[in-house]
Amino acid sequence: MHLNDLPTPCALVDLDRLERNATRMADRAHALGVRLRPHVKTHKCVEAARIQTRSHFGGITVSTLAEARGFAEAGFRDITYAVPIAPQKLTEVVEINSRIDRLSVLVDHMVTISAIEEKARSHAIVLPVWLKIDCGLHRAGVDPESAAALALATRLQNSVDIDFRGVLTHAGQSYDAVDREGALAAALEEHAVTLAFLERLAKANVHVPETSIGSTPTASAVENLDGIDEIRPGNYAFFDVFQNAIGSCTLGDVAFSVLAAVVSVHPEEQRAVIDAGALALSKDPGPTHVDPDCGFGRIVTIEDQHPLPGLRLTSVSQEHGEIEGPGTAALRPGTQLRVLPNHSCLAAACFGNYQVIRGTEVVDEWRPLRGW
Amino acid sequence: MHLNDLPTPCALVDLDRLERNATRMADRAHALGVRLRPHVKTHKCVEAARIQTRSHFGGITVSTLAEARGFAEAGFRDITYAVPIAPQKLTEVVEINSRIDRLSVLVDHMVTISAIEEKARSHAIVLPVWLKIDCGLHRAGVDPESAAALALATRLQNSVDIDFRGVLTHAGQSYDAVDREGALAAALEEHAVTLAFLERLAKANVHVPETSIGSTPTASAVENLDGIDEIRPGNYAFFDVFQNAIGSCTLGDVAFSVLAAVVSVHPEEQRAVIDAGALALSKDPGPTHVDPDCGFGRIVTIEDQHPLPGLRLTSVSQEHGEIEGPGTAALRPGTQLRVLPNHSCLAAACFGNYQVIRGTEVVDEWRPLRGW
């Protein structure tokens, strides 16, 4: 089938681009001397994760227990759930962990460690746990310079109920960068904070088995990862308008897009409406810190994904995407357009299936995992 | 089951509040002398639509063909698809229309009318069509003062392939209101523009069978609808933080919320993180024109939905919701919180099922329709 024949709105995954993005990051990880544990939250899709892990050890990172469950069922055996674990989720963690080599969880609080120990003891097992530190994002993670960080690491090392996997962080502040240099600065911070914490722990006789860092912007920019064991970028599988704006990729690298159809045209006011709104593209505002007029996605040609600068997607409501610009003069009800989303992770999560294309031919359909 | 025992994040529908909201709007419509054709895009759920249509004629409004398909299968027989129809969707429209009394579509362009006529002729049927006019939102709909509007209405009236249902509009500009007075102004505009267009059409000997208007803000504010046949509010089933900010409801009326669990706490910085992020609440920025600090939802008590002003949901990323405020001192990993979303239509669409509660007891589970 030609992609023009697909119903709209629909999600397109460009397999050539996905494979190219995956190979490039896998090669980067090899060159940097680190393992690649891709974050699969961007696509939540077994087929894409298999492509991403091709030349690496097969470990993945997930953002929900639904992903952990689904990827475990599909044969992935080493999974890190990279959101600090809520104690009430431990029953399911134990269940999934028992079926694979390892479902590792993150902690940044003593209450959670106690809950994990209690759960592990009640099942007479040992649970794999990472210590999450904050390298500057100030979201989750313990401050690595705090007394609490040292106490948590010591407790994890000494716990008989816990398999202490190591120290993990995520420089999400790289998304505040305005270019590749800014992302590199975040990468250096992520790296340096981790190494400084290792040194501090070494002085306190805490041995850290492994270190895990990374995001797509930092993993794309960094040139040296001495002392680091693995990286966990995720968005690079698809990339998006945001990653392009901060220098992680070109627009030509973006492997996820949304096919839409024009439903209303008002050429006299240089306006039109497409059938892809907030439920197909998300309401992610995009890289407004780089381009205040970025709108809600970039409109590109159907055939070869070239930007159409005469069309700007200025607003989205539930099922309407509003387009402005002189390019609207060429639109009619039914005209198809292709939109590169601001944030592919959020846009992809809108869809129950992805139409997989090579060029303009639909070659497969993939079903992402959803929910929690 | 008590709602505390639900896994997080999950969607809660408060049945008492939903029924109260539904009854109030149904009674308003009766008092105003109009039919109620609720827009079901907010919940996309058969059970909720049945409650909303209890004392009315049973017609509904949908935003996708997936909703049309699903509600037709569930026994709804008079459905309006309230986004201008893309010509390539007509094959499915014909199919659904053949199984119920009427699946009506919207047009605002001659190209679309021609496509409908061609499709109707090829099946030897007549298709029900509304003319969508723009009463000030400037999204879809033809300018009712334009020559095009008159030409479209004349064509619809005279077409042997089309059952001209009437004139339809939606004052979405009511969402720019800062209070109930502003919403009332939008309602008066919606009403007046429609009546003026009817008068213009009457002079041109175009008879308009019916008129359909409405949004939750305008339907909640308006006091007279002489000359109007039906209203199509939708959000009122659930309401949300936005509707509260512009005066459509109290916070106590909000019937949809998200149950979340704390996963990370940083009391020294008055910060915490919950497991409900952009994929559970959407990234809808909320009523920033009324309250620039509204954040991404309102945190309320689990038991009785009272606001907790010491906790502000300041940021959302994919699976993290970041909370700030002095109330974080009382939080621990595992603490549950309940969040009223900024925009219930977008938040509800994140979930594959709703946990239906009366008070704090889970009494049912509903499965909304998804996709297109």
Identify which of B222, B286, B224 has the alpha carbon closest to the alpha carbon of residue B248. Answer: B222
Identify which of B193, B227, B188, B184 has the alpha carbon closest to the alpha carbon of residue B33. Answer: B227
Whether residue A210 contacts residue A179, with contact meaning beta carbons closer than 8 Å, is answered with no
Q: Which amino acid is at A277?
A: G
CB contact under 8 A, A64 and B319: yes
Whether residue B338 contacts residue B300, with contact meaning beta carbons closer than 8 Å, is answered with yes
The token duo for A111 is 């209450």
Specify which residues A130 forms β-bridges with.
A106, A166
Test the B interface: residue of A318, A322, A343 with most B CBs within 10 Å: A318
The token duo for B327 is 């109330």
Specify which residues B78 forms β-bridges with.
B102
Q: Which amino acid is at A67?
A: E
Is residue A372 less than 8 Å (CB to CB) from chain B?
Answer: yes
What's the pLDDT score for residue A151? 98
Band (A282; pLDDT cuts 50, 70, 90): very high
Q: Which amino acid is at A135?
A: C
Whether residue B61 contacts residue B80, with contact meaning beta carbons closer than 8 Å, is answered with yes
Band (A211; pLDDT cuts 50, 70, 90): very high
Band (B163; pLDDT cuts 50, 70, 90): very high
State the pTM of this model.
0.97
User: Within 13 Å and on the Cβ side, how many CA atoms surround A317?
Assistant: 14
Specify which residues A131 forms β-bridges with.
A107, A167
- Count Cβ atoms within 10 A of the Cβ of residue B146 and give its class: 0-12 exposed, 13-18 middle, 19 or more buried: middle
What's chain A's length in residues?
Answer: 372
CB contact under 8 A, B282 and A278: yes
The token duo for A297 is 């996605």
Strand order in the sheet with B102-107: B35-36, B230-231, B210-213, B162-168, B127-132, B102-107, B78-84, B60-62
What are φ and ψ of residue B94, in 5° steps? Answer: -60, -45
What's the pLDDT score for residue B63? 98
The whole-angstrom separation of Cα B204 and Cα B192 is 19
Buried b (16+ CB within 10 A) or exposed e, A53-62: beebebbbbb
At B16 the three-state DSSP class reads helix
What's the pLDDT score for residue A209? 97
Which residues, other chains included, contact B301 with Cβ-Cβ below 8 Å and sequence gap of 6+?
Answer: B308, B338
CB contact under 8 A, B140 and A346: no
| A residues 90-119 closer than 8 Å to B (CB) | 108-109, 111-112, 115
Residues of chain B with C-beta less than 8 angstroms from the C-beta of A345? 318
| A residues 276-305 closer than 8 Å to B (CB) | 278-280, 282-285
The whole-angstrom separation of Cα A153 and Cα B191 is 66
At A37 the three-state DSSP class reads coil
pLDDT tens by residue, B189-200: 999 999 999 999
Closest A-chain CA to B284: A283
pLDDT tens by residue, B220-279: 999 999 999 999 999 999 999 999 999 999 999 999 999 999 999 999 999 999 999 999
Average pLDDT in the A168-190 region? 93
Number of H helices, E strands in chain A: 11, 17
Question: What would the DSSP string read from start to end of B294-342?
Answer: -TTEEEE-TTT--EEEEEEEEEE-SS-EEEESGGGGG--TT-EEEEEES
What's the pLDDT score for residue B119? 98
Sign of CA dihedral B351, B293, B322, A281: positive
Query: What is the C-alpha end-to-end distance of chain B, expressed in Å?
Result: 33
CB contact under 8 A, A346 and B112: no
CB contact under 8 A, A352 and B370: yes
What's the pLDDT score for residue A121? 98
Closest B-chain CA to A89: B7
Closest A-chain CA to B81: A319
pLDDT tens by residue, B71-116: 999 999 999 999 999 999 999 999 999 999 999 999 999 999 999 9
The token duo for B44 is 């996309």
Query: Which phi-psi region, left, alpha or beta, contains residue A54 (left: φ > 0; alpha: ψ -120 to 50)?
Result: alpha
The token duo for B73 is 């299968």
Residues of chain A with C-beta less than 8 angstroms from the C-beta of B140? 263-264, 273, 320
Whether residue B229 contacts residue B211, with contact meaning beta carbons closer than 8 Å, is answered with yes
What's the pLDDT score for residue B161? 98
B188 min Cα distance to partner chain A (Å)? 23
Buried b (16+ CB within 10 A) or exposed e, B217-236: bbbbbbeebeebbbbbbbbb
The CA-based dihedral angle spanning residues A173, A179, A183, A185, taken in that order and rounded to the nearest 10 degrees: -100
**Token pair 């400037």: residue:** B138
What's the pLDDT score for residue B33? 98
The secondary structure of chain A in percent helix, strand, coil, rounded to multiples of 5, reads 40, 25, 35
Closest A-chain CA to B286: A283
Tell me the average pLDDT of chain A. Answer: 97
Strand order in the sheet with A162-168: A35-36, A230-231, A210-213, A162-168, A127-132, A102-107, A78-84, A60-62
Residues of chain A with C-beta less than 8 angstroms from the C-beta of B9? 372
CB contact under 8 A, A273 and B7: no
What's the pLDDT score for residue A326? 97
Average pLDDT in the B351-369 region? 98
Band (A216; pLDDT cuts 50, 70, 90): very high
What are φ and ψ of residue A357, in 5° steps? Answer: -120, 150
A189 min Cα distance to partner chain B (Å)? 21
Cβ count near B168 (within 10 Å): 27
CB contact under 8 A, B109 and A8: no
| A residues 234-263 closer than 8 Å to B (CB) | 261-263
What's the pLDDT score for residue B60? 98
| Residue of B88, B141, B261 lying closest to A334 (CB–CB) | B88
Strand locations in chain A (E): 10-14, 35-36, 60-62, 78-84, 102-107, 127-132, 162-168, 210-213, 230-231, 256-266, 271-274, 297-300, 307-316, 321-324, 336-341, 354-358, 361-366
Tell me the average pLDDT of chain B. Answer: 97
Q: Could you tell me if the ipTM is greater than 0.90?
A: yes
Average pLDDT in the A256-277 region? 97
A205 min Cα distance to partner chain B (Å)? 26
What's the pLDDT score for residue A215? 93
The whole-angstrom separation of Cα B272 and Cα B329 is 9
The CA-based dihedral angle spanning residues A45, A50, A53, A58, taken in that order and rounded to the nearest 10 degrees: 90
What's the pLDDT score for residue B152? 98
pLDDT tens by residue, A248-263: 999 999 999 999 999 9
Closest B-chain CA to A348: B279
DSSP, res B86: P
B336 min Cα distance to partner chain A (Å)? 10
User: Within 13 Å and on the Cβ side, how many CA atoms surround B121?
Assistant: 8
| Residue of A86, A265, A346 lying closest to B333 (CB–CB) | A86
What's the pLDDT score for residue B21? 98
Strands B307-316 and B297-300: antiparallel
Residues of chain B with C-beta less than 8 angstroms from the C-beta of A269? 138
| Residue of B109, B269, B371 lying closest to A264 (CB–CB) | B109
